[in-house]
Amino acid sequence: MAAEQKPNLSVWTRPRRTREQPALSRAQIVAEAVRLLDADGLETLSMRNLGARLGAGATSLYRHVANKDELIELVVDEVYGEIEIPDPGEDWRAGATACAHSMRAMILRHPWMASVLGQAGLSYLGPNVIRLNDRMLAVYLAAGFDLLEADQALSVVAAYVIGISTSEAAWLTTLARSGQGEADWAERLRESATQAMAPYPRLSELTAAYERQDQPRDHRFDYGLARILDGLATRLG
């Protein structure tokens, strides 16, 4: 009796067709999916909608992408290809900072990433993610970390960037849907926030301090990143 065929775990574990339909390629499908997501958000992504944008039936798409989960894996890897990868010979801290800022910029350009990262399956097998991780390992190895700690350093910086940037992207998406700017939103909430914080003197003082300083979001991102890199630097000391 033939062994039961196991389902594919990911687009990266499924054998790719060696002969693609000339009228439509996987690259075209992925590029159009990114444009759809940027324009209309995750809730509009479907094989039917994507096929309509490409002027093709869903059946044509299924020749290259088995389902929506595979499509999400592909678009995630596609936008990871936008991240600036530093030269391994560069100062490790400057390289890590540049890569972190580039990753944050990518997530803010594609705010739907905030919703799909947890659905991206075996995203670490995507070619762009592999390339990024390999080059960043080289940066941390050149700094003096051993291989395992270089991987942990890479992971902790990436976790910080993804965490803060996805929250930031979600906030900016909410703001865009409201049709208001950040300053207008803050002004509308000022009275309610002041009343809510009134029983808590420390939070009231903190809110007032932020209003006086008017710190941009970039400052908060830079502060957290710098403290993480400070901690990693002590490991090299």
Q: Among the listed ranges 14-28, 103-117, 174-188, 197-211, which one has the minimum average pLDDT value?
A: 14-28
Is the per-residue pLDDT at 114 higher than 60?
Answer: yes
Cβ–Cβ < 8 Å for 112, 37: yes
Question: Residues 55, 32: contact at Cβ < 8 Å?
Answer: no
Mark 104-138 as b/e (b = at least 16 C-beta within 10 Å): bebbbebbbbbbbeeebbebeebebbeebbebbbb
Say yes or no to pLDDT of 207 above 60: yes
pLDDT at 17: 63
pLDDT-derived band at 5, boundaries 50, 70, 90: low
Mean pLDDT of 160-168: 92
Confidence tier at 29 by pLDDT (50, 70, 90) = very high
> Is the confidence at residue 166, as pLDDT, over 50?
yes
Task: Return the pLDDT at 133.
Answer: 94
Q: What is the pLDDT of residue 154?
A: 95
Please report the pLDDT score of residue 77 as a whole number. Answer: 94
Predicted local confidence at residue 2, as pLDDT: 46
Length of the chain: 237
Structural domains in the chain?
26-66 (1.10.10.60), 83-236 (1.10.357.10)
6-10, 114-118, 212-216: which has the minimum mean pLDDT? 6-10
Q: Sort 157 into a burial class: Cβ within 10 Å, 0-12 / 13-18 / 19+.
A: buried
Query: Per residue in 77-99, pLDDT tens?
Result: 999 999 999 887 779 999 999 99
What average pLDDT does the segment 28-42 reach?
93
Q: What confidence category does residue 1 fall into, taking pLDDT thresholds of 50, 70 and 90?
A: very low
Using left for φ > 0, alpha for ψ between -120 and 50, and beta otherwise, residue 3 falls in beta
